[in-house]
Chain A
Amino acid sequence: MTSFLEKLGAAVIRWLGLIGEVVLLVFDTFRALKKPPRIRHVVSQMAHLGVDSLPIVALTLFFTGAVMTLQIATEFIRFGAQSTIGGVVTIAICRELGPVLVGVVAAGRVGAAITAEISTMKVTEQIDALRVMATSPIGYLIVPRMLACMMMVPVLTVFGDAIGVFGGWAVATGYSGVSSLTYMNSIDVFTKAHDIVGGMIKASVFGMVIAILGCHMGLKSPDGAEGVGIATTRSVVASIIVIFMLNCFLSLILFSK
């Protein structure tokens, strides 16, 4: 029992320590924005990160939209509410499922790639080499990745939203017998720009989380070759947990009225 409590206490302290370090890193990164960011690096990161994730985002959201419609269409039609199906699916995707699922996919692809790259740089002393050449790893490595993720994850989310809504449409019209016009009309009636923009704001925050945690875990990776693997796993797990928790708060702030 005491050993369980000890372990729990140690875990809590570790998490609090991690939160403290990450918050400091966020501050340092925003402080580094005083100097103009390296646009070329931001753009190349965006291209790299975006292209990496497009196919999985498309697959994930298509099937999510499809299966959700499959479940709700039967019930809604039973209650004579088929004219709301399109709207409900679209709102759920734009507000919640799009940003969260794209966030999770990006954590797995982009966050893992960032951590692997940076921890390799750490293990091979390239981070030290940057510092010796009077170049801040924060400005040089973290800032472009953070900006790229903050812009790219929302873009991916809008793309994913569209695919998800399309997946819903495919099932609604092809399987559940809702007419295309009804589905589209319902989107038009129920969905507001705020649903999409709010989702993009979430996605941007998730992008920041993925980049900062990805960089942090990379910079703090254990020494040695196996350190890269450990750091990468930590980064993905931490990002996904934080995304789910933050999503709840962000929904309260953005969509509770």
Chain B
Amino acid sequence: MIRLVDVRKSFGEKEIIHGVNLTVNDGETLAIIGGSGSGKSTLLKLMIGLIPPTSGEIWVGDRNIAGMEEEELDEVRLHMGMVFQYSALFDSMTVGDNVAFGLREHTALSEDEIKKVVAEKLELVGLPGAENMMPTSLSGGMKKRVSLARAIAFSPEIIFYDEPSSGLDPIMTTKIDELIMNTQKALNVTSVVVTHDMHSACRIADRIAMVVAGELVTCEPVEKFRQLKDERVREFLSAAHIV
């Protein structure tokens, strides 16, 4: 479970996140939706400890990661995986080495065992046998999938996705959405998906949280979210032709 308590974040003088309270339950898929620049990525980075909050508490399980030292954070992060907006694959390494990275760093598995896990995870994201390809030779959708394979290689309990379908065509978007749902089922993980795509959010999420200009407007189950009368929510829904 992740719980944000009155979390604020400023960059320099400027406050970007204005006191957010949010809970992510175990095993659910939460979508965080909002316009570009509203602070979605910043929220995600706060949850995974990539940036410290200016004030407030961020509970991951029974540990408050706000203000934790990097070494302590690393223990928490071993239970998390993240798919970055632009995939963030290590472009000096092959796909296989990218997926194997966490296993090589943090386990004593033999190369044979690592190979097996890598093959299995690549299979799971629909890219069997891609081990020896270089990231630069992959399409955007393939990169996203390798990034997911890398994120789940270590069998995390929580997976964060930052705009998993941005920059992809509608068909690939649907595929990635299915992949997120399948991963959730196969590994029984908690997923937090940041997106500006209302369709994706409705398809994959159990609950949808909406962020506008660094404030959490609402966080409701999908069905209830679609019925909300809040103007900002209506605007987003009608822009996506969902209403």
List A residues at the B interface (Cβ < 8 Å): 124-126, 128-129, 131-136
**Given known A-B contacts A125-B88, A126-B90, A132 and B50 have beta carbons under 8 A apart:** yes
A30: shortest Cβ distance to chain B, in Å?
Answer: 16
Whether, in the assembled complex, B78 has its beta carbon less than 8 Å from a beta carbon of chain A, the answer is yes
Whether, in the assembled complex, B175 has its beta carbon less than 8 Å from a beta carbon of chain A, the answer is no
Whether, in the assembled complex, B113 has its beta carbon less than 8 Å from a beta carbon of chain A, the answer is no
CB pair A132–B48 under 8 Å, yes or no, is yes
**Secondary structure class of chain A's binding surface, majority of residues:** loop
CB pair A129–B81 under 8 Å, yes or no, is no
Contact of A134 among B77, B90, B91 (CB under 8 A): B77
Interchain pairs with CB closer than 8 A, number: 49
**How many B residues are at the interface, by size bracket?**
20 to 34
* Most B CB within 10 A of own CB, among A126, A131, A132, A134: A132
- Besides the known contacts A133-B105, A136-B74, 6 further A-B residue pairs in the complex with CB atoms under 8 A apart: A131-B50, A131-B77, A132-B77, A133-B101, A134-B78, A136-B70
When distances are taken between beta carbons in the complex, the residues of chain A under 8 Å from B192 are none
When distances are taken between beta carbons in the complex, the residues of chain A under 8 Å from B74 are 134-136
What would 12 A/B residue contacts be, using CB atoms closer than 8 Å? Answer: A124-B86, A125-B86, A126-B90, A129-B82, A132-B48, A132-B50, A132-B82, A133-B101, A133-B102, A133-B150, A134-B75, A135-B101
Whether, in the assembled complex, B80 has its beta carbon less than 8 Å from a beta carbon of chain A, the answer is yes
CB pair B84–A129 under 8 Å, yes or no, is yes
Please name the residue on chain A nearest to B48 by beta carbon: A132
Whether, in the assembled complex, B106 has its beta carbon less than 8 Å from a beta carbon of chain A, the answer is yes
When distances are taken between beta carbons in the complex, the residues of chain A under 8 Å from B70 are 131, 136
A91: shortest Cβ distance to chain B, in Å?
Answer: 42
CB pair A129–B90 under 8 Å, yes or no, is yes
CB pair B77–A128 under 8 Å, yes or no, is no
Instruction: State which residues 42-59 of B face A: CB under 8 Å.
Output: 45, 48, 50
Q: Mark B81-108, 1 if CB is under 8 A from A, else 0.
A: 1101110111100000000011001100
- CA of A136 to CA of B75 in the docked complex: distance in angstroms? 12
- CA of A192 to CA of B86 in the docked complex: distance in angstroms? 56
- CA of A128 to CA of B50 in the docked complex: distance in angstroms? 7
CB pair A132–B90 under 8 Å, yes or no, is no
CB pair B84–A128 under 8 Å, yes or no, is yes
**Given known A-B contacts A134-B105, A135-B105, A129 and B88 have beta carbons under 8 A apart:** yes
Contact of A128 among B88, B89, B101 (CB under 8 A): B88
When distances are taken between beta carbons in the complex, the residues of chain B under 8 Å from A135 are 74, 101-102, 105
When distances are taken between beta carbons in the complex, the residues of chain B under 8 Å from A133 are 77, 101-102, 105, 150, 154
When distances are taken between beta carbons in the complex, the residues of chain A under 8 Å from B80 are 132
When distances are taken between beta carbons in the complex, the residues of chain B under 8 Å from A131 are 50, 70, 77
* Most B CB within 10 A of own CB, among A125, A126, A128, A131: A125
When distances are taken between beta carbons in the complex, the residues of chain B under 8 Å from A126 are 88-91
B11: shortest Cβ distance to chain A, in Å?
Answer: 11
**Given known A-B contacts A126-B88, A126-B90, A134 and B106 have beta carbons under 8 A apart:** yes
- CA of A125 to CA of B151 in the docked complex: distance in angstroms? 14
When distances are taken between beta carbons in the complex, the residues of chain B under 8 Å from A129 are 82, 84, 88-90
Contact of A124 among B48, B50, B88, B101 (CB under 8 A): B88
- CA of A131 to CA of B72 in the docked complex: distance in angstroms? 12
- CA of A133 to CA of B106 in the docked complex: distance in angstroms? 9
A227: shortest Cβ distance to chain B, in Å?
Answer: 15
Please name the residue on chain A nearest to B101 by beta carbon: A133
B125: shortest Cβ distance to chain A, in Å?
Answer: 16
When distances are taken between beta carbons in the complex, the residues of chain A under 8 Å from B48 are 132
When distances are taken between beta carbons in the complex, the residues of chain A under 8 Å from B84 are 125, 128-129
- CA of A132 to CA of B105 in the docked complex: distance in angstroms? 12
- CA of A135 to CA of B89 in the docked complex: distance in angstroms? 14
A64: shortest Cβ distance to chain B, in Å?
Answer: 35
In order of increasing CB-CB distance, the 8 nearest A-B pairs are A134-B74, A125-B88, A129-B88, A134-B77, A132-B82, A133-B102, A125-B84, A126-B88
Please name the residue on chain B nearest to A129 by beta carbon: B88
When distances are taken between beta carbons in the complex, the residues of chain A under 8 Å from B150 are 133
When distances are taken between beta carbons in the complex, the residues of chain B under 8 Å from A125 are 84-86, 88
- CA of A136 to CA of B105 in the docked complex: distance in angstroms? 11
- CA of A135 to CA of B70 in the docked complex: distance in angstroms? 10
